[in-house]
């Protein structure tokens, strides 16, 4: 089984700890993970802002970088959804417009094999107890694209519930968007900030020490809002919790 890690541009530049946690976790579970150096951004910022044509070279790059792997694993629900949901659309539109030279075919080969981390753990490896230990109170915010586009369901919570010492507390209004939405956060800053403030209020109200998601882009918004409000609740990616063990706390 050849497994490639798609780190995503946000994690690469701002959250390398999450990437290192994914590697540590997968290696602990006996998976040899490769990191194709040609990888880059999935193109979601461009695509979601209306720049579909500008996205195409990044789609092509992704398909080339990850060709030939059995699974492409990524610690981001949003980027996985971009690849699985939107890449086929982009390929089909390019073909329909007489461009794209095989883009649709290249996408068809790689998009269905691109999995968000919890899908890979639960569906491919068949594990929910990954032997992790994280003795803290944690609340889980299901990020929108993982929740609704990928349909991650209870996979993240099942993984969290199996972590030693972790107390999982329910987040009120959990399924409401945190207000990030990529360029939405600056184009409609007032509404975005109001959504973020409501989300932060709910998180603080749980009394949890940490808020966990599977998307560091949303986490940037949630964490930035919490920090501005002077809260000590720590934003933490699920991979970092799962990588943490009694012997080696992450």
Partner 1 sequence: MSDGTYLGMPAFPVAAAEAVGDARLRGNLRHATHTIRDKRARAVAELPDWPELRAAGAAVKDRTLRHLDHYLERLERAVTAAGGHVHWAADAAEANRIVTALVLATGEREVVKVKSMVTQEIGLNAALAEAGIRADETDLAELIVQLGDDLPSHILVPAIHRNRGEIRDIFRDRMADRGRPAPEGLTDDPADLAEAARLHLRRKFLDAKVGVSGANFMVAETGTMVVVESEGNGRMCLTLPETLISVVGIEKVVPTWRDLEIFLQLLPRSSTAERMNPYTSMWTGTTDEDGPRAFHLVLLDNGRSDALADTVGRQALRCIRCSACLNVCPVYERAGGHAYGSAYPGPIGAILTPQLRGVTSELDASLPYASSLCGACYEVCPVAIDIPEVLVHLRERVVRGGEVTVRGTRTVIRPAGGHAAERAAMRAARWVFDHPGVLRAGQRLAARTRRLAPRRRLPGPGRAWTDTRDLPPVPAEPFRDWWRRSRGEGSGR
Q: Within positions 107 to 146, which residues make up the interface with partner 1, using CB under 8 A? A: 144-145
Segment 43-72, which members bind partner 1 (CB under 8 A)?
43, 45-55, 57-58, 61, 65
Binding test (CB under 8 A) with partner 1, winner from 176, 201, 204, 234: 176
CB of 162 to partner 1, least distance (A): 26
Helix residue ranges per DSSP H, the chain:
9-14, 16-28, 44-49, 52-65, 77-81, 87-96, 103-110, 117-119, 144, 155-161, 184-187, 189-206, 216-228, 238-243
Q: Could you tell me which stretch among 2-10, 99-107, 129-137, 162-170 binds partner 1 (CB under 8 A)?
A: 2-10
Give Dmax over CA atoms of the chain in angstroms.
57
152 or 166: CB nearest partner 1: 152
Nearer to partner 1, 166 or 211 (CB): 211
Q: Which residues pair with 237 in a beta bridge?
A: 213
Q: Which of 3, 6, 19, 206 binds partner 1 (CB under 8 A)?
A: 19
Task: Give the whole-angstrom CA distance, residue 77 versus residue 119.
Answer: 10
Nearer to partner 1, 66 or 163 (CB): 66
Residue 31 to residue 115: CA distance in whole angstroms:
15
Residues 21 and 15: their CA atoms lie apart, in Å, by 10
Please give the size of the binding site for partner 1, defined by CB under 8 A: 71
Smallest distance from the beta carbon of 94 to partner 1, in angstroms? 13
Nearest to 72 by CA among 124, 24, 28: 124
Rounded CA-CA distance 173/151 in Å is: 18
Helix (H) or strand (E) holding 143: none
Of the candidates 180, 203, 241, 243, which one interacts with partner 1 according to CB under 8 A?
Answer: 180
* Main-chain phi, psi angles of 87, to 5 degrees: -60, -45
Mapped onto helix, strand or coil, the DSSP state of residue 73 is strand
CB 207 within 8 A of CB 182: no
Q: Which is nearer to partner 1, 135 or 172 (CB)?
A: 172
Q: Which is nearer to partner 1, 109 or 189 (CB)?
A: 189
92 binds partner 1, rule: CB under 8 A: no
Closest CB to partner 1 among 133 and 153?
A: 153
Q: Which of 102, 164, 194, 246 binds partner 1 (CB under 8 A)?
A: 194
**Rounded least distance, CB 136 to partner 1, Å:** 20
Among 3, 6, 9, 25, interactor with partner 1 by CB under 8 A: 9
CA pair distance 41, 15, nearest whole angstrom? 14
Site for partner 1 in 220-249 (CB under 8 A): 220-221, 223-225, 227-228
């Amino acid at each position: 089984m050849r497994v490639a890690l798609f780190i995503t541009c946000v994690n690469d530049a701002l959250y390398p700890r999450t990437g290192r946690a994914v590697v540590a976790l997968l290696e602990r579970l006996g998976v040899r993970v490769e990191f194709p150096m040609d990888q880059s951004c999935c193109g979601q910022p461009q695509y979601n802002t209306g720049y579909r044509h500008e996205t195409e070279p990044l789609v092509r790059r992704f398909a080339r970088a990850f060709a030939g792997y059995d699974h492409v694993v990524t610690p981001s629900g949003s980027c996985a959804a971009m690849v699985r949901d939107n890449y086929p659309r982009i390929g089909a539109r390019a073909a329909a417009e007489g461009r794209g030279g095989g883009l649709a075919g290249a996408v068809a080969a790689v998009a269905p094999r691109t999995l968000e981390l919890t899908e890979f753990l639960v569906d491919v490896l068949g594990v929910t107890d990954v032997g992790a230990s994280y003795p803290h109170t944690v609340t889980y915010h299901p990020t929108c694209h993982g929740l609704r586009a990928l349909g991650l369901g209870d996979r993240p919570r099942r993984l969290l519930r199996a972590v030693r010492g972790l107390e999982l507390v329910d987040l009120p209004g959990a399924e409401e968007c945190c207000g990030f939405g990529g360029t939405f956060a600056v184009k409609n800053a007032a509404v975005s900030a109001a959504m973020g403030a409501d989300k932060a209020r709910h998180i603080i109200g749980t009394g949890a020490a940490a808020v966990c998601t599977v998307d560091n882009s949303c986490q940037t918004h949630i964490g930035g809002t919490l920090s501005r409000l002077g809260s000590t609740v720590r934003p933490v990616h699920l991979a970092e919790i799962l990588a943490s063990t009694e012997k080696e706390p992450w």
